[in-house]
Amino acid sequence: MTEVLSVLMTVLYEVQKLQVLLKQSCRTGLEQFCDEWVDGQQVSRLLNISPRSLQTLRD
């Protein structure tokens, strides 16, 4: 019984470590865009619109 408890405690510890890593890696889309500049072509691809539509939205 103590072996099972030991294994369960180890699994719990590993799951908690994984939870911390996941929380650290989760970022919103806005935070991802803040890391580097995005050019017009990338914006067009991300929004699935043509460059002309993007220009219209800018105006």
pLDDT tens profile 3-43: 889 989 999 999 999 988 777 776 666 666 666 777 899 88
Question: HSE of 29 in the Cβ direction (CA atoms, 13 Å)?
Answer: 4
Total domains, the chain: 1
Nearest Cα to Cα of residue 49 among 37, 38, 41, 58: 41
Dihedral sign for Cα 34, 39, 45, 51, please: positive
Which domain covers residue 6, as residue numbers? 2-58
Q: Apex CA 20: angle with CA 15 and CA 22, to 5°?
A: 90
Taking the model in full, what pTM does it have? Answer: 0.43
Q: State residue 55's pLDDT score.
A: 92
